[in-house]
Amino acid sequence: MFKIQYADIKFNAQNTPVSNQFDDIYFSTQDGLKETEYVFLQGNQLWERWLNFNQPHFIIAETGFGTGLNFFATVLLFRKFRLENSHSPLKRLFFLSFEQFPIHPKQLKIAYQYYPQFTELVEQFCNNWIDPINGCYRFHFTECYLDLWLGDIEKNLPQLGDYMYNKIDAWFLDGFAPNKNPQMWNEKLYQAMYCYTKPQGSFATFTAASTVRKGLQDAGFDVQKRKGFGLKRECLYGLKHDKSTESFRPSPQFAWYLAQSAKLENNLENVDVALVGGGIASLFTALSLLERGAKVTLYCEDEEPALNASGNKQGAFYPQLSDDDNRNVRFYIHAFAYGLQRLRWAKSKFVFEHEFCGVALCGYNCRATSKLNKIAQLGLPDSLYHVLNQTELSEKVGLDLPCGGAFIEQGAWLAPREFVQTAFTFLQKYGLKIKILQKITGLEWQNNMWVLTNQHNTQIKHQIVVLANGYKITDFPQTKALPLYPVRGQVSQIATTRKLLNLKTVLCYDGYLTPVDLAKTSHCIGASHVRDNAERTFSLQEQLENQIKIQQNLSPASWINDVDTSKNQARVGVRCSVRDRIPIVGNVPNFSQQLVDYRNLFNLRRRKQAIADAAHFPNLYLVGALGSRGLTSAPLLGEYLASLIFGEPLPLSEDIIHALSPNRSWLRKLLKGTSVESI
């Protein structure tokens, strides 16, 4: 259901990759790089347009990633431009590419053996590759961002969604020849291209086929011919019609979920952001904002960051997989892939305790076994989720288990508190300001600025505010309607033993046990789950329950008797959760106004009448409800939020964005025609 099929390729006598699936070459046998430069880079007049560009980012979309040659060539050109034009307002390049059959990294490296100028970029791409599923994967190349959309373009292109209307600056209309790949070159593609293209945005393609020319013209593009590359007689290029204006926008299909970027009187230079909260969500949001040149101030109510839900000694890093919600599964897998990339980045910048040891999921009873077997039927890559029998799983774990289960090879554990605090210290070198013992008690929008009031009744002004303070997000009038609740969790710390030292992976069983820490002294076990409870005092009962849970679920294994919580070493944190088990992120919705605008939403949709865009509080954002998977989800959520604030492409499909939307709980009712009580 989710699995992506790799490209079936061979290399011809000229060492050019050839697709067996489409019986076509990936690029010209004469000179693939020169073809890219002529057809796409020059065809879209990139250099000339960049010289006169007055926005902070430029967006290119491509049909057919193939070997990635178009992308890598564009990156080198953009870096050359930035080097020669350091004062240009254009700082970042976004490249959105759609590919149904990606080339395996091993074959990709072969394809680039004659292009040494791309070696570093190709290595970086391959190092961050993970066996994929359908959907969007974001890769970082410093000032260049690649969003690689894997799967059928007919399904993926619409997932750019209402948000991306009129945002794309240029198209590389590539892919295999129209007569070889007619299912891609069609009216739906051309019409979608037109909707997503900026007024005066361009396209270029290697083909001059009459069906392509007519399709683009019918969609609204002004199409021109130019000399083709090499032996090709002609190729096409063009612009979105002059009659288009900045105000043109197709009617959004999902206006009630439409994400909205920050509204600033000046351009997106020196954007001033206040981050409320000192945990993992704030950390990765700060990182992504700082990468875009934002001025970020963090307000933490404790004496130092990571003292609540992000403060455990050891925590597991792996995707939350479900047998009853495919959209949630897709979100967590994409978050896991992006999180791996961020952790590799962190390893190169600072030291923190961690181990990429894998995560074992135990089928400790009939219900758990049934769930794991259903997940296996989703068709996930073996490198991501692999079912093992009792003997195989025991060998992976290093301890005898009474059951089989599944294994997540690239899972890990890390020290959350150490990681968050060390990362914040690192980010301070790049301009992050941290204000400790600053509890924000009030928010008020005045004169296009947010006025924050702290516990001392001091007021501070910022252009943009991001709330990332866990279950306390709902402490403000603007957020009190959100269906968030606190969940108390006590994690027990136990001393290691001769037997427990053999544990090689994170072990999950309706709880979790981590391998021994790097000091070889202790493990973490937990965690309790007490809903609607924000108490942070030690509980003897929960301490004992943590021990009983593992000993009951993994009995009769002998080593479980070494699990001893009687020393009463533990830590209590309060997580922020929501009923549907997926985070909330994005604009803070204006609940009262949305109830007015959408009180008759069911009938408005049925009658196909105009529907207002979602009412939000201006320049106010949130990220929360990370639950027990904050280590996994926070990196992608922070990147999504920074992209949204800056009006950039979003690294998630539209249907997942809707699932993450903060107003989803009452919109689900209104969409069904069910009334929602006001607050």
Q: What percent of the chain shows pLDDT beyond 70?
A: 97
Does residue 676 lie in a domain region? no
Q: What is the mean pLDDT of residues 114-134?
A: 95
pLDDT in tens, 342-360: 999 999 999 999 999 999 9
325 versus 388: which is more confidently predicted? 388
Q: What is the mean pLDDT of residues 151-165?
A: 96
Q: What is the mean pLDDT of residues 157-185?
A: 90
Same domain, 74 and 172: yes
Q: What is the mean pLDDT of residues 219-239?
A: 93
pLDDT category at 309 given cuts 50, 70, 90 is: confident
Q: Mean pLDDT of all residues in the chain?
A: 94
Q: What is the CATH number of the domain that holds 135?
A: 3.40.50.150
Same domain, 530 and 595: no
> Contact at 8 Å (CB) between 383 and 281?
no
Same domain, 48 and 113: yes
pLDDT category at 247 given cuts 50, 70, 90 is: very low
pLDDT in tens, 582-641: 999 999 999 999 999 999 999 999 999 999 999 999 999 999 999 888 999 999 999 999
Q: Does residue 527 have a cis bond before it (omega within 30 degrees)? A: yes
> Contact at 8 Å (CB) between 538 and 570?
yes
Same domain, 624 and 561: no
Does residue 44 lie in a domain region? yes
Q: Is the pLDDT of residue 258 over 50?
A: yes
pLDDT category at 332 given cuts 50, 70, 90 is: very high
Closest CA to 171 of 73, 59, 79: 59
Q: What is the mean pLDDT of residues 213-230?
A: 94
Q: Is the pLDDT of residue 499 over 90?
A: yes
Distance set, CA 233 to CA 236, 245, 619 (Å): 11, 34, 51
Same domain, 290 and 236: no
pLDDT in tens, 34-90: 999 999 999 999 999 999 999 999 999 999 999 999 999 999 999 999 999 999 999
> Contact at 8 Å (CB) between 284 and 638?
yes
Q: What is the mean pLDDT of residues 268-273?
A: 85
Q: What percent of the chain shows pLDDT beyond 90?
A: 86
- pLDDT of 276 reads 98
Q: What is the CATH number of the domain that holds 372?
A: 3.30.9.10
Q: Is the pLDDT of residue 27 over 80?
A: no
Same domain, 543 and 435: no
- pLDDT of 590 reads 97
- Give the phi and the psi of residue 252 in degrees, each rounded to 5: -65, 140
pLDDT in tens, 570-583: 999 999 999 988 99
Same domain, 475 and 590: yes
- pLDDT of 178 reads 80
Does residue 284 lie in a domain region? yes
- pLDDT of 11 reads 82
Domain that includes residue 205, residue range: 9-240
Q: Is the pLDDT of residue 468 over 90?
A: yes
Closest CA to 575 of 419, 466, 491, 470: 470
How many domains does the chain fold into? 3
Same domain, 300 and 399: no
Looking at the DSSP bridge assignments, the partners of residue 224 are 237
pTM of the model as a whole: 0.96
Two tokens, residue 79: 């870096």
Q: What is the mean pLDDT of residues 289-302?
A: 97
